[in-house]
Amino acid sequence: MLTLFRPLNFLITLITGFIAVLIAENGELTHATLYFGVLTGVSAALIGAGGNIINDILDVEIDRINRPDRPLPAGKVTVTTATRLYIFSKMFGIFFAAMAGIIPALIAAASSFIIFFYSYFLKNIPLVGNFTVSVFTGMVFIFGASTVNNYSNALFPFIFAFMINMVREVVKDVEDIEGDTAENVRTFPVIFGVEPARKLAVIITLLLITVTFVPFLLQVYRIEYLVVIAVSVAPALISVIRDTTRAKEKKDWGRISGHLKLIMILGILAIIAGI
């Protein structure tokens, strides 16, 4: 049952929420950072988990083809139980956000509504659904900044998280093309084909590589940021481009998706090192 929460994604989101506050506070680990960081992390993780659960509920037929081992298509969890978990995660996600302030609570509530709207409608519009998910991936940094009312450090983390998740969304759509085609889900690769999707993923990745150097050139981050980017993030993104041009089977695209998740973590570490 707990696998509905995507434990790894839950943990990554929780840590990212905490780091979002740490970045907003210029890397200073104060009592306020700890308090608001924990609230932000727990709230973001619960709201993200709720988004995954409602997506699983609405996609149960598609997942019988794409991901038959997930709890709902495998029959390990009922839709009723999943719905209760969804309500629980959203309610407590907004509750923890409200403990951090009115603005975080409003962001959490609005995010919960739009994520549901995405799962129910937007995900069937090519690229619009991908764009929406990517925006909310980056929004965790805006969310964290709102708890301490300091948005000055949130822009570049938001852009990085948005762009790398946009690549991952396109990659995941190619990975899921079989089930999406069978259930008439209108994703970009279903409508336009795998090759245009492949090219789109490569183009966004190339743009992302360029963008990662901009904060240092603008003197937003210190030399430590550049070192981590040059040694780990940029080479990893170049390998993603190589793998994307060669990918043929479903497992190839799944591997790329996993690598992108790791690269996002490396990018966040670069930002922490450079603030």
Which residues of the chain have a pLDDT value below 70? Answer: 1-2
Contacts of 91 (CB under 8 A, 6+ apart): none
| φ, ψ for residue 168, nearest 5 deg | -65, -35
**Domains (ranges, CATH) in the chain?**
1-152 (1.10.357.140), 154-275 (1.20.120.1780)
pLDDT tens for residues 117-147? 887 777 778 899 899 989 989 999 999 999 9
Look at the block and give the residue holding tokens 């929004």: 139
Distance, CA of 13 to CA of 11 (rounded, Å)? 5
Burial 226-240 (b: 16+ CB within 10 A, else e): bebbeebbbebbeeb
Query: Quick one: pLDDT at residue 206?
Result: 98
Give the CA dihedral 100, 106, 109, 112, nearest 10 degrees. Answer: -100
Query: Quick one: pLDDT at residue 4?
Result: 74
Token output for 238? 């170049």
Q: How far is CA 161 from the centre of its chain?
A: 7
The angle formed by the CA atoms of residues 65, 70 and 72, to the nearest 5 degrees, is 90
Distance, CA of 197 to CA of 141 (rounded, Å)? 28
Query: Quick one: pLDDT at residue 255?
Result: 96
pLDDT tens for residues 218-232? 999 999 999 999 999
Query: Quick one: pLDDT at residue 1?
Result: 61
